[in-house]
Structure 1
């Protein structure tokens, strides 16, 4: 009780009935050290993000214009299922909503973060941008434009291991529709769709199979020069991918389907040079 001023303690006790005072037992410092919190933190999220322009500068610059992150404002994602996967009309907005984030610190120091829907249904997410421009003294070019992706997230789990200093990220995602242009290549992609590798819009409409599962480890590791770098290990990623239209010079040259795409044992090191 060393941290509690005697005057403040007296005022607190003065307001307590005598019978209750008789039951009060003072705790010494060692006993106080054993008192810990038993509940984590829950955050309910509703947001929308707009950025007019994001600029990364090295010697030249890359700028991304008209960035939007929010909700899809749709009820017809994956329409072949015949249901509103967001759970109801309340989620049909341009807000990123229906998100519940639960944060817990375990007794061994590990941090656990679970990202879940607040109510039954998936979390819908729209990401869109305008032009991605490379600029410098020699001129400029547009490498990407008209990007729009409507995404569903079933949930996500982040675990930070206090012993190994590794952050593991696991999430379930599905892309209903993504479109973009690459003007410097005269290339465009339309109706890009990503699902789990066992989902089939005709033969297998099982909703849990709709989502592709991503498993990442993110941590610090030295590169070949012994310099600490950002390490990203893609432990597993399995999906089916459809591109409804591949455009060259504005004309469709056909469609693409990738069945049972599997990416495993993939390691990235990111560092400056």
Structure 2
């Protein structure tokens, strides 16, 4: 039958593969040399993807259901269109894919794992800050009863686009005291959603770096400084979690900014819709979150 190797030929094939002539051009590595081989140059990964989910559901007794979830590219080149006439065009390719992403992975001599994520630039004249654009959409977020007969729509038509210019992750090799440290520079140029439960909607919301509102006032834009910088420390927390309760092995997430203290960002909302009509816009200058820690555990 086509595609089948006769068993009668098997001994001949083995003999041909194991004869000295078959390996005449190969030089075997000695044990002493093998010990010097390592991945000192690390690993690089080029990523292109788009993720879709019909539903993501968390169940306790009742459930929280996220439907029609999509994560990929922003599918545009002009950003902050709600703030600048025509937006600001970034040096990226329009696509609904999360693409042109380069991931570098290295393991240091002390065992720490380092992961760096940024833009892949194959253009010979590629200079300056090149962002990685992303887009997230969720059709609806619903509360669902255990029997599935009652549901309430909390959020609908959620759409978010933005970009990041750099992301770094360090997983420390420190035994039981190991932790994850992350640093991300990002900007979210547009968030739109409806909240049927409250009868309201949000349009053209943005989160950017400190100083963005000042640049916006003068019509300036600097991609390198447009993003907010967030530092995260993730580890296991033990003992008191903020009240009288003692909890072992709680998940602790601490948030800081670029300098290691407060996370600072400029925030704006283009329109708040209530009863189908906009009641106006809002801006927050230098919103600072300091000494911010989340401790997450079951109850």
Root-mean-square deviation (Å): 2.5
**What CA deviation, in whole Å up to 9, does each residue of 1:142-169 have, x standing for no partner?**
1111100011111100011112411111
Q: What is the match of residue 291 of structure 2?
A: 265
Q: What is the match of residue 105 of structure 1?
A: 107
Distance 1:12 1:253, change over 3 A: farther
Whether 1:38 and 2:40 are equivalent positions in the alignment is yes
**What CA deviation, in whole Å up to 9, does each residue of 1:185-223 have, x standing for no partner?**
112111101111112224342222211111100111124
Q: Distance in 2 between matches of 1:211 and 1:252?
A: 28
**What CA deviation, in whole Å up to 9, does each residue of 1:212-253 have, x standing for no partner?**
111100111124324211110002221100001111222211
Q: What is the match of residue 273 of structure 2?
A: 247
Distance 1:26 1:179, change over 3 A: closer
Q: Which runs of 5+ in 1 are unaligned?
A: 1-7
After superposition, residues 1-273 of structure 1 pair within 5 angstroms as 11=20, 15=24, 26-28=30-32, 32-78=34-80, 80=84, 84-85=89-90, 87-88=91-92, 91-119=93-121, 120=126, 121-136=130-145, 137=147, 139-163=150-174, 164-199=177-212, 200-203=215-218, 204-224=220-240, 225-236=246-257, 237-273=263-299
Distance 1:10 1:207, change over 3 A: same
TM-aligned CA deviation for residue 25 of structure 1 = 9.0
Distance 1:84 1:68, change over 3 A: same
Distance 1:181 1:39, change over 3 A: same
Q: Which runs of 5+ in 2 are unaligned?
A: 1-16, 241-245, 258-262
TM-aligned CA deviation for residue 266 of structure 1 = 0.6
Q: Distance in 2 between matches of 1:170 and 1:13?
A: 52
8 Å Cα contact 1:230-1:269 kept in structure 2: yes
Q: Distance in 1 between matches of 2:224 and 2:30?
A: 54
